[in-house]
Chains A and B, each alone.
Chain A
Amino acid sequence: MDFTIRAATLEDCKDISRMILELAEYEKASDQVKITQRDLEQDGFSKNPFFHGIIAEVPEHHKSREGHTKVGYSLYFYTYSSWKGRAVYMEDLYVMPEFRGKGIGKALMSKVSQLGLAAGCTQLNFTVLDWNKSSLDFYLKQGCWDVTSDLGYHCMRCEGDALEHLAQGDL
């Protein structure tokens, strides 16, 4: 199947927002999505963007059942390893179910890798949910390894009241 991989633009935010919700539904967490199309426009396409996007697009004659031509995306940003330096973090990678199995996911991830390498990064990091076997298998096949399993690193979060208390110096 014919498809294009390109950098996301402001105009893509509507479809990115749609697909973020689809991915959240797949992860059984759609009620947790607070970010709107407008937030994406401001946070991703201003002078100092907090993320970058890649879009997978199909020609009109291959559009989805609901009429969409933007059928996959990846959101990524640059991070820093105090051991190795510049790194790229792939925050989201998603292809609509009816467009899977055609190499689109791999091509999106490839593009993020290409851009990361061009920016001087030496690693690509991301997180996967432990029940998501098909994704785990896909990534392990690409030569990724599970840092949580192998090194015992756990992802921690401090948010909401806890963050406010920490800021005020309460124990």
Chain B
Amino acid sequence: MASFILRKAEPKDVSDILRLIKELAKFEEMEDQVILTEKDLLEDGFGDHPFYHCIVADVPKQHQSADSHVIIGFAMYYFTYDPWIGKLLYLEDFYVMKEFRGFGIGSEILKKLSQTAVRTRCSSMHFIVAEWNKPSIDFYKRRGASDLSLEEGWRLFKIDKQNLLKLLAILHAVQNGSTAERFV
């Protein structure tokens, strides 16, 4: 199987994007964590200020997947900022369906992303990988990626909505005068 194209995702692709997000999450044993809907993807990716950008890999109909899909890979990314070095490209998701691996599609996607990063004057491309995912870690290290968690001791932290709301309560308490503080 030789032919595939990589293109910018369009609104009509959201159903396939969600399907592939769920497949990747399943591989990471986190499928139940995906609460995003097609509607979210549509609003958040194709409005005036998109929260993300997406590239999809499209094969001709005669090469469609076992379950009849022609969108067989994708990458979701957005731009972030490092106050020391400036703009960065952050790769959120990157996935090619199992039956389409080994044809260079993943490499081409990564190449396209890197070209985008260079063209938009990003200093670097960042992403996270689970430490147990050895094939992916090897894939990235072969291409010159460095593991910041190992090499520099960076740990990724998260605070979810419940605790964000608690933090907000602190703000309100302070605003209502428990310390002499003004919020503009």
Residue of A nearest to B85 (CB): A34
Q: Which residues of B contact A7 (CB under 8 A)?
A: 184
Residue of A nearest to B126 (CB): A157
Closest beta carbon of chain A to B122's beta carbon, Å: 8
The 8 A CB mask of B44-86 against A (1 = contact, 0 = none) is: 1000000110000000000000000000000010111111111
Task: Say if the beta carbon of B129 comes within 8 Å of chain A.
Answer: yes
Q: Do residues A83 and B81 form an inter-chain contact, with CB atoms below 8 A? A: no
Task: Say if the beta carbon of A40 comes within 8 Å of chain B.
Answer: yes
Q: Do residues A152 and B142 form an inter-chain contact, with CB atoms below 8 A? A: no
Residue of B nearest to A89 (CB): B80
CB contact list, A82-100 vs B, under 8 A: 82-86, 89, 91-92
Q: Which residues of B contact A107 (CB under 8 A)?
A: 170-171, 174, 181
Among B85, B150, B181, B184, the most chain A Cβ lie within 10 Å of the Cβ of: B181
Q: Which residues of A contact B33 (CB under 8 A)?
A: 83-84
Q: Which residues of B contact A32 (CB under 8 A)?
A: 84-85
Q: How far is the CA of A34 from the CA of B80 in the complex (A)?
A: 16
Residue of B nearest to A104 (CB): B181
Q: How far is the CA of A20 from the CA of B132 in the complex (A)?
A: 34
Q: How far is the CA of A33 from the CA of B85 in the complex (A)?
A: 6
Complex partner residue of A129 from B78, B127, B131, B152, CB under 8 angstroms: B152
Taking A156-B128, A165-B143 as contacts, is the C-beta distance between A142 and B167 under 8 angstroms? Answer: yes
Please count how many residues in chain B sit with their CB below 8 Å of the partner chain's CB atoms. Answer: 81
Q: How far is the CA of A106 from the CA of B140 in the complex (A)?
A: 37
Taking A156-B145, A167-B111 as contacts, is the C-beta distance between A34 and B161 under 8 angstroms? Answer: no
The 8 A CB mask of A124-153 against B (1 = contact, 0 = none) is: 111111110000100100111111110111
Given contacts A4-B182, A34-B86, A80-B52, 10 further A-B pairs with CB under 8 A are A43-B87, A75-B81, A79-B92, A111-B171, A113-B171, A114-B168, A144-B159, A147-B157, A154-B150, A163-B118
Closest 8 CB pairs of A and B: A162-B144, A143-B163, A159-B124, A154-B149, A167-B114, A110-B171, A166-B114, A130-B153
The residues of A with any CB-CB pair to B shorter than 8 Å are 1-7, 16, 20, 24, 29, 32-35, 39-40, 43-44, 50-51, 75, 77-86, 89, 91-92, 102-103, 106-107, 109-111, 113-114, 116-117, 121-131, 136, 139, 142-149, 151-169, 171
